[in-house]
A and B are shown apart, each in its own frame.
Chain A
Amino acid sequence: MSQQHDIYYVPSKSQWPIVAAVVMFITVFGAAHWLNAEPGESGFGKTVITIGAIGILGMFFGWFRSVIKESLAGNYNHQVDTSFRMGMMWFIFSEVMFFGAFFGALFYIRNFSVPWLGGEGHGVLTHQYLYGAYSAAWGAAGGNGPLQVGGAFSVVQPWGLPLLNTLILLTSSVTVTIAHHALRAGHRGKILLFLGLTVLLGATFLYCQAHEYMEAYKELNLTLHSGVYGSTFFMLTGFHGLHVTLGTIMLAVIWCRVLKGHFNKEHHFGFEAVAWYWHFVDVVWLGLFLFVYIL
């Protein structure tokens, strides 16, 4: 792998890393300030977050633009390409672990903490002293714990919108793969069509999810406050939705880049990185559909 080059490439200096550090700092500083503000206090948190967020967008735009320019100028050799690929793969692995933390929490709660609170096995004393009336159950019957945090609620049925969303994401995985094959075969029109379809499917998914959230809040009384059921439901699906949003934006950017002719048969790391990301988001969804909605 490392043997096929006779000179190394080292990129030139860039202002973007320090800009990135500054805008990230501004954003989280604003967020922390906002969260910490006293109830009545107005505070400047929100303004600062907005400035930071705009800064982050600008930073991404600027940084990627300079990278794309260098890439089009043919600066990046095969070795650089491999480094990028490795970077993306390990980044996705870190994302897998991030979701792993929340899936792990879900499994622990369902298999241990809720049954124990119901008096099973290890938790018998907590049950006896604190929550004698609670019988362990998941979903609407007891997923918000002994104190019924958030009040009675009902759950989202898996075989309606969630099933549709599953089909949408699975289809989008197929369309992005077709686009990839088209790219390797050099059919521009076909790429644009199928990549465009993928973007649309992603957007539809997000629309359906927003709809589902609205229904959950308005009609089912299933909210972020609905005990640990609500916590796991919204945190898992919410973080996933965030990733779909990002993925959709990235796909849209790639679509524009295809339109501009940035990729050729051999040189299309940007496309592949986004496609990998999209598959990852898809797989996470399958886990969600199974463990959050069905089981």
Chain B
Amino acid sequence: MAHEATHDQHDHHHAPQGFFQRWVMSTNHKDIGTLYLIFSLTMFFIGGSFAMVIRAELFKPGLDLVQPYFFNEMTTMHALVMIFGAIMPAFVGLGNWMIPLMIGAPDMALPRMNNLSFWILPFAFALMLSTLFLPGGGPAGGWTMYPPLSLQSGSLAYVVFSIHLMGISSIMGAINIIATILNMRAPGMDLLKMPVFVWSWLITAFLLIAVMPVLAGAVTMLLTDKYFGTSFFNPGGGGDPVLYQHVFWFFGHPEVYIMILPAFGIISEIVPTFARKPIFGYRAMVYAIACIAFLSFIVWAHHMFAVGLPLGADIFFMYATMLIAVPTGVKVFNWVATMWGGSMTFETPMLFAIAFIILFTIGGFSGLMLALVPADFQYHDTYFVVAHFHYVLVTGAAFAIMAATYYWLPKWTGHMYNEFWGKVHFWCSVVFVNVLFFPQHFLGLAGMPRRIPDYNVAFANFNMISSIGGFLFGASQLIFLGVVVHCAFFARKKAADRVWEGAKGLEWTVPSPAPHHTFEVPPVVRDEELAHGHVND
């Protein structure tokens, strides 16, 4: 078998390339990662503008600004854009950039497929967003697309096909990540010496391959029920609308972990760096991720307690759900133990990481409250659920992505971002996000339903507070944009190769900015360089 040099000749050491060649035909994990991140940031602002419409309408009771149907389009599109367009592609972008650097690989295992995974996304979202301009309007039945409501939407076919496209993109991306991690590690980079971020992506990729096809199946059944006369969700024909919810949430719950496991990985990189201590309980961290991934397959019906499941099912899913708190707790305690006794400094990435740990834990606690069947009968479909998942997704997933951006931006661009403005961004975000979402807990407990454009005057005060928080949080993200753009194009201060004093791992051994091609020859991995080089001792 040919092990000898089979390097490609056309591509390398040919510095000047056309713009189109470089960005559209790329096989370079860094360029593709950058594309993913730019796409994600764009979607973050598009989805964010939808959220501004929602909060503006909810600023005070009454229908002041938008039509109810448009409001529902906004809640639906906001969620779809944020989940599939902002959070997931951001993690894939980070994985693309960092995984090869962290394991000493020259690129992803299947670079062309990598490019396809990315380029599907802009088209998929063009298809989905175009429905807003169709005569019949966009989807408005919620991102969960429950039948029979979603079947009434004229644009269902567009949404279903765009979800198919995103699914194909995610599956290919995940296959690529698994093949990269399993097949492209530099000699000496044993599985149990890999950075936790790489581990978290390995397991996330497995989840993606396991559940994205199930989502495809669920929406395909919607499509055939609407357009081809099948009866999957029609009781008259022997079907059951609740079947959709089962299939959807079999995808949906692992999906929420797809959006948080890479965040766990990021936090597990950042905390040790700024505490200048190895992570506490490396193996426990890895096993906890695996354990969470396993459990995520057997808890889906906690989203359906209120549909009237058989009692046995209610009880099983309640206890299974509460079990997830155990490995999640292991992670939180280990992060805290990592900081304990460390010599900590508080640069922007660390600030976001600490905020993550605290605020994500709040989201975990409200999750536990929702997991209690009798309590969930009351909380379900109220603003309490909205508060819960925004704590885990905004102060969880999105904060981790911001932390990662500040952490690795100097490595990507070769320049330090502006620490002062980074901190301003952090403090604005962390304050306003709580103004935005904390009152929603109380609204929910008091019984305000989610996904409605108008509400009882009794809820007026907290809604106004929440909306003000929302506008300010939205505005704070412009600072983020400013810091990133400044760092990429205008910053002067050169970044060192090892950007952060306490940082360990292969990615810090390459120059800043990381050259177009790294590790063309497998690096010699020395355990002292790795954050977890000695776990096996």
Contact = CB atoms under 8 A, between A and B. Distances in A.
Interface of A: 1-18, 20-22, 24-25, 28-29, 31-32, 35-36, 74-79, 81-84, 86-87, 90-91, 93-95, 97-98, 100-102, 104-105, 108-109, 112-114, 116-117, 121-122, 126, 130-131, 142-147, 149-150, 224-225, 227-232, 234-235, 266
Contact of B109 (A16, A29, A83): A83
Contacts of B236: 145-147, 149
Interface in B242-283: 242-243, 246-247, 250
B155 A97 contact: no
Given A7-B5, A86-B179, A97-B213, A228 B120 contact: no
B385 to A, nearest CB: 24
Contacts, number: 287
A7 B521 contact: yes
A104 B247 CA distance: 8
A11 B238 contact: no
A9 B231 contact: no
Given A13-B26, A94-B171, A74 B127 contact: no
Interface of B: 1-8, 10-11, 21, 24-27, 105-107, 109-113, 115-116, 119-120, 123-124, 126-127, 134, 136, 154-155, 157-158, 160-162, 164-165, 168, 171, 174-176, 178-180, 182-187, 189, 209-214, 216-218, 220-221, 223-225, 227-232, 234-240, 242-243, 246-247, 250, 308, 310, 517, 519-522
Contacts of A122: 308, 310
B240 A97 contact: no
Given A7-B7, A9-B6, A109-B239, 12 more contacts: A8-B519, A10-B111, A11-B8, A17-B115, A24-B168, A28-B165, A29-B127, A35-B227, A117-B238, A126-B235, A146-B238, A224-B229
B504 to A, nearest CB: 21
A101 B232 contact: no
B227 A94 contact: no
B150 to A, nearest CB: 14
Given A13-B21, A87-B113, A146-B236, A1 B179 contact: no
A76, A145, A229, A231 pick with most chain B CB within 10 angstroms:
A231
A240 to B, nearest CB: 13
B182 A1 contact: yes
Contacts of B119: 17-18, 20-21
B310 A228 contact: no
Given A14-B27, A17-B119, A97 B214 contact: yes
15 contacts: A5-B522, A17-B113, A24-B168, A25-B165, A76-B6, A78-B1, A83-B180, A86-B179, A93-B210, A98-B217, A144-B238, A227-B238, A228-B231, A231-B224, A266-B1
A3, A28, A32 pick with most chain B CB within 10 angstroms:
A32
Nearest to A22: B123
Contact of A95 (B157, B174, B213, B242): B213
A13 B180 CA distance: 19
Given A86-B109, A97-B214, A224-B230, A10 B27 contact: yes
B346 to A, nearest CB: 38
B227 A14 contact: no
Contacts of B158: 32, 36
Contacts of B8: 9-12, 75
Contact of B238 (A78, A81, A113, A126): A113
B310 A8 contact: no
Contact of A7 (B24, B220, B520): B520
Interface SS majority for chain B: helix
B188 to A, nearest CB: 9
A276 to B, nearest CB: 14
Given A1-B183, A7-B520, A10-B7, A113 B230 contact: no
A14 B21 CA distance: 9
A11 B111 contact: yes
Contacts of B112: 11, 14, 16-17
Contact of A18 (B25, B161, B214, B246): B25
A75 to B, nearest CB: 5
Nearest to A97: B213
Contact of B123 (A21, A104, A116): A21
A83 B217 contact: no
B311 to A, nearest CB: 9
Contact of B1 (A28, A77, A228, A231): A77
Contacts of A79: 183-184
A117 B235 CA distance: 8
B262 to A, nearest CB: 18
Contacts of B242: 113
Given A8-B106, A231-B224, A113 B240 contact: yes
A108 B218 CA distance: 13
B184 A2 contact: yes
A76 to B, nearest CB: 7
B25 A231 contact: no
Given A14-B112, A25-B165, A108-B240, A231 B232 contact: yes
A15 B310 CA distance: 54
A144 B232 CA distance: 10
B175 A101 contact: no
A149 B231 CA distance: 8
A77 B183 CA distance: 13
A13 B179 CA distance: 20
Contacts of B110: 83-84, 87
- 3 residue pairs, one from A and one from B, having the closest CB atoms: A101-B217, A145-B238, A113-B240
Contact of A230 (B26, B178, B230): B230
A24, A77, A146 pick with most chain B CB within 10 angstroms:
A24
A52 to B, nearest CB: 11
